[in-house]
Amino acid sequence: MNQLQRIIGRIARYSYNSLPKITFNLSSIYNYDNNPRLQGHLLKWQRYYANTLLKEADNNDTNTKPNSLAPFEDIKKCKTVISVLNLFFKYQYRYGCSDVIASLDQIYANASRTSSLRIVTALPNNPKFNLLCDFAKRKAGHFNTDELLQLLKCALKIQSLIGDTLSAQLGQLSNHIILTLERRIESLTILDLLVILELKIGSRLKLKVINEQLVNMLIPIIHEGKDVQLLMRSFTVFAHYGIKSSVVGKLESWIANHFNELSIEQICDVCNAFHRLNRRCPELREMLGQRAAHLDLDGLSEEHVLSLMRSFTYRPLVVEDLFEKISNYVIKNINNMSTYSVSQIARALSSLRYYNKDLADAIGLHLTDKGALYEFSIQSIGDILYVFARWNHLPEPALLRKLISKIEYYIKSTPNMIIPPIVTSIWSLIILDTFPHRAINALFNEKIVSEIHSFGTGAIQVQMFQIDLAAKLERPELQLQGLSHSHRNHFLKPLKKFSTKGSVFQHNVQRTLEYLFDGSHYYWKEFKTAYGYSVDLAIMTDLNNVLQEPKVNVLRSKNKPTHYKRIAIEVDGPYHFLHNSTKLIGESKMKHRQLRLLGWTVVQVPYFDWEELNTDDERKQYMKRKIFGDGPMNINREN
């Protein structure tokens, strides 16, 4: 699309007459109404070039006057919003702004209600726009339901493309239409209700009356189970507006009973809706996983592939064959996919600890392209870097330099609302043992830190603390600014509050230590270090490797002890590793790295080693070797 814009832009600069022709030709090639992303790109581009042409057209003194009713006659023939907008740009260029407005004044004075709807959609930049909105509001009570829905659709479509002032006018108009429709609630069909709710998805208006009416009308259809398409559309609506748990339960049962009758696209939509409604639906996800593993994804849109991927993240379920297909789908189509879909699919895979090196390399190669990286927002960059960090996948140096440069740019030039993805981006780079020192210094600006102190989530505050800790422990030579004492203590609080019960695996290792040491007083479970890290099992020896009873003041000291050795036994279950690899996920790797720098000896007990041990004696010998090596095990029993 970017290349298409550039080509059209070059042509338009040389020939004013080419603009209407190009846009009309594009209208015949692309189905805009079914491609909102393309529609938005082209309309924004059209507005930019149309305004450029208008400035020059207004300066031309011409004696040629248009037929004042020509725009109206052509507008009556238009069938889509896109064609109306194209026509508007065409007449603005051909006749100049003043002539078009004069013609439209005449149209406005004599307009029928249907043509008024089309004029409203065609005039986002016209001085008479407010008058037309007022006209539509006054006449709304005289419009039938179909006309009101048409007006609502047009108003919302244009609202997303214009400035704040006119957007507010359209918002008032759409809310007025909703109130008019609510007064006719008893006469509305279920399809009318669905259209209204679908149009307002994404707005802050919850439309409680219309949503409740839809639920009441939908319950008999659920029992009959005949109109599958209607039920599928309802799921998308309910995912946004919410629905009573009892009704969701009925829908869930109906879908389970008719699962094989649904298309994969419908199932994706349902699972995505359940995800947004916080419904686990384990049986549906199991059924989806079994069916999706045998699918050919080439026929699915990127939105459905994303929905399919997301459906497994709420209740973690790994279907390796399917995830490999999804990875291959992204690799194949990455140049034609939106940056949002690429980053979200990758993030969903990483949340399930599924790693595909080819996919990681493809994303890195795609980002290396200057144009592709330019399209990535800081949110998408934060997501991708988080994915790389979780996968423990270090991108190529050239890409790292570009990403760091992009982050530095966003820190300097964008508002505070994007602070969280910037923090996540830098934290992810540090997990990958990369220190963007200029970005870190800029992040530690007092204004930004105070903003995070006051409004940041616990996760962002922990990331800030760990960035500061990493800078001091791992790169002291950089002499980075760092956090103040008060900010550091505040950001540490969420880590100190975090606690775990311990897994069955951890309890088994703990019991083995009791057998090995002949007692439980030689270890400390779930020990909180001075810097917030929780150690699964903490033990202590003297410098001669003789086991001692643990002393809290030694274990919790910020300084490395001179007479003792602190040992952190990290019981790393499956969730510490990538699902299809023995690689640690990035967060666990950084924890081990920083514990060592804080003066701890880290003893890792991975689950795949433990599963190879069959007897208690084998497990005791394994732990003895892990802690004491090949030497003897000596225990100080005097205390």
Note the pLDDT tens digit of each residue in 15-37.
333 343 344 333 333 333 444 44
What pLDDT does residue 216 have?
72
**CA-to-CA separations, 354 to 284, 287, 377, 433, 581, in angstroms, rounded:** 21, 20, 24, 21, 9
Q: Average pLDDT of 602-624?
A: 94
Give CA–CA dist 593/37, Å, rounded. Answer: 44
Helix, strand, coil percentages, rounded to 5, for the chain: 70, 5, 25
Q: Are 344 and 311 in contact (CB under 8 A)?
A: no
**Residue scoring higher pLDDT (106 or 192):** 192
> Phi first, then psi: what are they for 392, rounded to 5°?
60, 45
Fold of the domain spanning 504-635? Endonuclease; Chain A (3.40.960)
Structure letter (DSSP) for residue 31? -
Residues 6+ apart with CB under 8 A from 168: none
Give CA–CA dist 543/520, Å, rounded. Answer: 22
Q: How many CB atoms lie within 10 A of CB 140?
A: 19
Degrees to nearest 5, angle at CA 336 with 333 and 338: 105
State the pairing for strand pair 534-542/524-528: antiparallel
The predicted-structure confidence for 470-506, as pLDDT tens digits, reads as follows 999 999 888 888 888 899 989 888 877 766 677 889 9
Q: Of the segments 130-139, 329-338, 547-556, which one has the largest average pLDDT value? A: 329-338
Element (H, E) at 417: none
Give CA–CA dist 26/438, Å, rounded. Answer: 45
The predicted-structure confidence for 399-444, as pLDDT tens digits, reads as follows 999 899 989 888 887 655 578 899 999 999 999 999 999 999 989 9
What pLDDT does residue 328 have?
93
- Confidence band (pLDDT; 50, 70, 90) for 128? very low
Q: Of the segments 22-26, 541-545, 588-592, which one has the largest average pLDDT value? A: 588-592
What does the domain layout of the chain look like in residue ranges? Answer: 345-497, 504-635
Quote the percentage of the chain above a pLDDT of 90. Answer: 23
Residue that has been written with the tokens 């666990």 in this structure: 588
Give CA–CA dist 573/452, Å, rounded. Answer: 33
Q: Average pLDDT of 260-267?
A: 73
Q: What is the largest CA-CA distance in the chain?
A: 110
**Residue scoring higher pLDDT (168 or 97):** 168
Degrees to nearest 5, angle at CA 634 with 630 and 637: 160
Residues 6+ apart with CB under 8 A from 187: 145
Residue that has been written with the tokens 């309910």 in this structure: 238
Give CA–CA dist 374/111, Å, rounded. Answer: 45
The predicted-structure confidence for 185-225, as pLDDT tens digits, reads as follows 777 777 777 777 766 655 555 577 777 777 777 667 665 65
Q: Closest by alpha carbon to 577, among 550, 547, 610, 548?
A: 610
Q: Of the segments 194-203, 607-616, 624-633, which one has the largest average pLDDT value? A: 607-616
Give CA–CA dist 373/568, Å, rounded. Answer: 41
